[in-house]
Structure 1
């Protein structure tokens, strides 16, 4: 919120107005609309605002591309082929300052979306509910709360110490739960990591209660808007990040059957695809795609020049690190997930990730995944093993479900693991193979306090390093006098 810019604009208007008193208070052309305006006057306009919340989530600086990119480039699976700071090179080599584009851009994008959610929730209470009725109002507000929860969770992964470090006692984020529609006082101190997670879970729990069980047979809507199982699935991610394994199990058991083939037995029929390639090609609306950000060729560009397909495969800004997961011997040549690795040729001597292959000519229209059912299965399996500190049979079966879908030649048994730690490590490796390029690698390392491995000439980053998390956005530090930076 740039108060200085607002002040300069007002001063300029005053100088131009002279004695024309009415021009001293012109209608703002940039302020967010107030709560009692026409945006809440019809059912169609209210629904348009709901869809606008998802548009904020899929912005290029957010889940449209860069949030996934940043969490991958911080880790060890990609090698820079450009030193352009515009395309996240400072994230890649850990030279970020408070004013770096990625630091300010992502912070602004996430908090802008949070503000839109807050204004929408307030607007529904003030007027919208009377227009659409109580049932539909609860549905819409639940969607806003889920989007807000995703925003706060995502911010924590980059700007705050992991939960394990002090059990959430370290500085977190400014917790903004009321909307800003005009210029005002934006000073707000950081709440602790624990308090932010408490709010995230509150939003997700309330969303689970009020979201629809399903949007019927409309596959696109079931994938691109939140339903009850979306809230449950995202809670498994949150609890795993907090190392609250018994809670992961409780939530996952709501949408994962007790035995293979593992499926959701109520709500939207979630299940693994027989071929992982189906998830990443048209129509992108599979049983495995719990929530994805849609892009339509010709009408909307997925992240623009910073689209997933551009970074990984189109402009080829980052190649795959042959010393990363693709060089691991257990990632077999016959594994179906290797079909996402471009072949090395004379013309293209480096491997690239082709998981998002639709290029600029087709508008970079690949859907960006937010959460998939395979993640829920692996989170449940890991939680079962860690919670019991054992070679849990169901945990191993869940690991096999994801592995055998892409690599039928590998079947894990209890004898495959020399210790419980070996099973824990197997889950982490499986996630690395399964979600390559999808933005889970850095958060997976950080939730466990593991060193972020080095790559090329970039040294490893231990959990004790100040580089383990990002600095706070310079714009926030400038306009929020109660905000403090990360050390």
Structure 2
């Protein structure tokens, strides 16, 4: 109970600290950093609290997948809802969209908590064992790097927050994308050098709910891919792929990459750190709970991209008859996470966990990086591992251009409705304008590749201006 209390304490502290960023009052009864980081037990509780904040925040626990999928060409909401319609049409209001405000503020809430852990462990008064200081600091720096990664990919220039001092953060301007990425890579490199290789720090034996060295390698591979540093992207993806047999691709038909503790998962989290229900926020979001509940309908353009016989279409999508405002339509919805309630199991009793990092992405990262390096045969071998798992035949691209086209298609299918991958892929490959101006002719503008900085944020901190172009 003491650990849970500290977890709640640190979670509360995180959402109330950077006042100018999050706009909340700071409670007067918070324990000091000195008290929290006096013992190994309380420090561990603080780290668990950071993970609880991730799984409970309006950011990585569904909204990233939801809002970025609407922004891209993956799905749309089957009923009218203004905030969602703005993301779908790529006409987000900086003044009146609470979902956009949450995408901005929630990562900073988690970053504050990560910074609090980093600073607390570095205090001279901290009596935490040195080995645990390194481990816990590395976990916090990985989480901080991940939050900054999503922030800069959503908004471009963003404040790079590395302190809990609100006298600094309250008026901090936006850093360049290059500056943010420099810190992301620095944080992830520290994490990779200091994290345990296994999952010994997860609260429950066998769980993959605390990040390890391979999670840092996986995020480094992704970050280097986004930066166009192909050799490094391939190098770090290889570290995960070759990680002493810890990871392997799950059988889509008999199992799932999203089952709790499956061998494909590099990092998972649940609605709490001691899950008993086995359903996720994304399962509840995407699988209709009733025939009268509006759904997230996959776009025909995506559904038509599946090849005949693709196991992923059979296992990861579902048709549903939905009645909204007296009108019934048949929609196809995402079904990667199948359980949508604590009382009904659609997986034969298997628990599921939200999975932000898994092995399949690493194969696709390495395939793309190798294609960019002209190593077409090797890259095709990685691509074909994913295709075979899906029940598809191998492809034999004639050159690097053909391989890149095949990898892009495979990423669209393998990673659809998952952690915003499609939206970010369209942006980083500079193909968003070509794709979305055809799909969304009436509303799309090239400047919509960046979300607007919420008005509430820059009213509190004018240094966040100027606003992103197009808003």
- TM-score (norm. length: structure 1): 0.80
**Long gaps (5+) in structure 1:** 10-27, 161-171, 258-263
Alignment counterpart, residue 236 of structure 1, candidates 189, 201, 221: 221
Counterpart of 1:122? Answer: 119
Relative to structure 1, the CA distance from residue 32 to residue 455 in structure 2 (aligned partners, 3 Å threshold; closer, same or farther) is farther
- 1:265 aligns to 2:244 (yes or no): yes
Structure 2 counterpart of 1:480: 461
Q: Which residue of 446, 458, 463 corresponds with 2:440?
A: 458
Residues 382 and 395, structure 1, Cα contact 8 Å, conserved in 2: yes
Distance 1:222 1:129, change over 3 A: farther
Q: Is 2:296 the partner of 1:318?
A: yes
Closer/same/farther in 2, CA of residues 33 and 349 from structure 1, 3 Å limit:
same
| Deviation at residue 343 of structure 1 after TM alignment | 3.4
Q: Which residue of 1 aligns with 2:395?
A: 412
1:30 to partner: Cα distance: 5.5
For residues 29 and 133 of structure 1, what CA distance do their matches in structure 2 show?
A: 29
Secondary structure of 1:285's counterpart equals coil
- Separation in structure 1 between the aligned mates of residue 201 and residue 41 of structure 2, nearest angstrom: 21
Tell me how far apart the structure 2 counterparts of residues 376 and 276 of structure 1 sit (CA, whole Å): 21
Asked if 1:111 corresponds to 2:91, the answer is no
| 1:60-79 matches, cutoff 5 A | 60-79=57-76
Instruction: For 2:383 and 2:141, locate their aligned partners in 1 and report how far apart those are by CA, in whole Å.
Output: 32
Give 1:289 deviation, angstroms.
0.5
Q: CA deviation at 1:159?
A: 0.5
Q: Does 1:142 align with 2:123?
A: no
- 1:455–1:446: structure 2 CA closer, same or farther, 3 Å change rule? closer
CA offset digits 1:43-78 (Å, max 9, x no partner): 222111101111222234111110121221111121
Separation in 2 of the partners of 1:58 and 1:4?
20
Seen in structure 2, the aligned counterparts of structure 1 residues 159 and 128 have a Cα distance that, compared at 3 Å, is farther
The reply on whether 1:393 has 2:386 as its aligned counterpart is no
2:78 counterpart of 1:92: no
C-alpha contact 1:82 1:89 (8 A) present in aligned 2? no
Indicate the SS of the match to 1:173: coil
Q: CA deviation at 1:418?
A: 4.7
Please, which of 194, 211, 221 is the counterpart of residue 210 of structure 1?
194
Per the alignment, residue 266 of structure 2 pairs with: 290
Going from structure 1 to structure 2, the CA distance change for 1:30 and 1:73 (only over 3 Å counts) comes to farther
What do the CA deviations read for 1:308-351 (whole angstroms, capped 9, x no partner)?
532454344311112x22112x5224434432211366976211
Q: Equivalent residue for 1:29?
A: 27
Secondary structure at 2:76's aligned position in 1? Answer: strand
Deviation for aligned residue 1:480: 1.4
What is the CA distance between 1:458 and its match in structure 2? 2.9
| CA deviation map 1:351-392 (0-9, x unaligned) | 11121221245499742221110000110011001122x5x2
2:428 — aligned with what? 447
Q: Is the 8 A contact 1:39 1:45 kept in 2?
A: yes
Aligned residues of 1:374 and 1:402 also touching (Cα < 8 A): yes
Alignment of 1:374-389 (within 5 A): 374-388=360-374
Conserved? CA contact 2:92–2:452, under 8 Å: yes
Q: Provide the secondary structure at the position in 2 that maps to 1:369.
A: strand
**Structure 2: gaps spanning 5 or more residues:** 1-17, 323-327, 346-350
Match of 1:437 in 2: 417
Q: Please state whether the residue corresponding to 1:350 is helix, strand or coil.
A: strand
Of 36, 43, 59 in structure 2, the residue corresponding to residue 46 of structure 1 is 43
Equivalent of 2:402 in 422, 444, 448: 422
> Is residue 2:295 matched to residue 1:309?
no
- Residue 98 of structure 1: how far off its partner (Å): 1.6
Aligned length: 432
For 2:425 and 2:41, the matched residues in 1 are separated by 40
| Correspondence 1:154-233 to 2 at 5 A | 154-160=150-156, 172-180=157-165, 186-216=170-200, 223-233=208-218
Q: How big is the alpha-carbon RMSD for the aligned residues of Structure 1 and Structure 2?
A: 3.1
In structure 2, relative to structure 1, the CA distance for the partners of 1:295 and 1:272 (3 Å cut) is same
1:339 aligns with 2:276: no
- State the 1:213 CA deviation: 1.3
Q: Is the 8 A contact 1:232 1:252 kept in 2?
A: yes
SS at match of 1:279: coil
Q: Structure 1 pair 221/201, CA: closer, same or farther in 2 (3 Å)? A: farther
CA shift in 2, pair 1:379/1:3, >3 Å:
closer
Query: What is the match of residue 18 of structure 1?
Result: none
So what's the TM-score if we normalise by structure 2?
Answer: 0.83
Q: Which has the larger radius of gyration?
A: 1
Change (3 A) 1:174 1:393: same
Query: 1:427 offset after TM fit, Å?
Result: 0.3
Greater Cα shift, 184-193 or 195-204: 184-193
CA contact (8 A) 2:215 2:267 kept: yes
